[in-house]
A and B are shown apart, each in its own frame.
Chain A
Amino acid sequence: MDSPAANAAFAKQINIKFPLLSDMNRKMLTAYGIVKAHDVQGETYEWAQRANIVIDKNGVVQHIEEGDSAVNPNNALSVCTDLHKKQAAK
């Protein structure tokens, strides 16, 4: 797993402004059902899928994308924008 130190170097390299989190013991990934088992030549390995998940202010999941489609963040971003507009209109 990538450590916080490795993430810090990566964050600096690509100049991002949001937190990069490490799930070193895979607790969160397992709770969210993102870790999947894969059988490869008779052995079972586990790794995390790419995933984008949008959670609203009330803690309710509003959007999930897994796998190849999650490489593009635009769908998740537009869900966030819509949520924000709806909440601002209230």
Chain B
Amino acid sequence: MRRVLAAALVLAALPASALYSRTAQKEQVAKVSLKVGDTAPDFSLLSDEWKTVRLSDYKGKKNVLLAVYVLAFTGG
């Protein structure tokens, strides 16, 4: 477990942005769905320390556990 990086994405759910049409959003959402055995798409996200974290930072170094968590402070 020492070598496992646990990274949690804390996300709040918001209604779809008015900038996109409903149809465009649906198509975008339906397009991609990850499966076991797929190469995980790289990402670049800001941490709670305002540092950029990329999945590729850990390639060849650590296994990564992503826990997607909606709404911090809710205990859910």
Instruction: Indicate if the CB atoms of B65 and A77 lie closer than 8 Å.
Output: yes
- Known pairs A37-B26, A46-B16 / 9 extra A-B pairs, C-beta < 8 Å: A6-B73, A7-B47, A10-B72, A21-B8, A21-B47, A46-B13, A49-B70, A77-B1, A77-B4
Q: List 22 A-B contacts (CB under 8 A).
A: A2-B72, A10-B73, A11-B48, A20-B48, A20-B72, A21-B45, A21-B53, A22-B45, A29-B68, A32-B40, A33-B34, A37-B25, A49-B68, A50-B68, A51-B66, A54-B66, A55-B66, A57-B58, A59-B39, A60-B37, A71-B76, A76-B67
Instruction: Indicate if the CB atoms of A7 and B63 lie closer than 8 Å.
Output: no
Interface residues of B (CB under 8 A from A): 1, 3-16, 22, 25-26, 28-43, 45-51, 53, 55-56, 58-73, 76
* Chain A: minimal CB distance from B63 (Å): 5
- Size band of the A side of the interface? 35 or more
Q: Which of B10, B22, B37, B55 contacts A7 (CB 8 A)?
A: B10
Instruction: Indicate if the CB atoms of A64 and B9 lie closer than 8 Å.
Output: no
Interface residues of A (CB under 8 A from B): 1-2, 4, 6-8, 10-11, 13, 16, 18-24, 27-37, 43-64, 70-71, 73, 76-77, 80-81, 83-84, 87
Q: How far is the CA of A50 from the CA of B13 in the complex (A)?
A: 11
* Chain A: minimal CB distance from B5 (Å): 7
* Chain B: minimal CB distance from A72 (Å): 11
Q: How far is the CA of A70 from the CA of B9 in the complex (A)?
A: 13
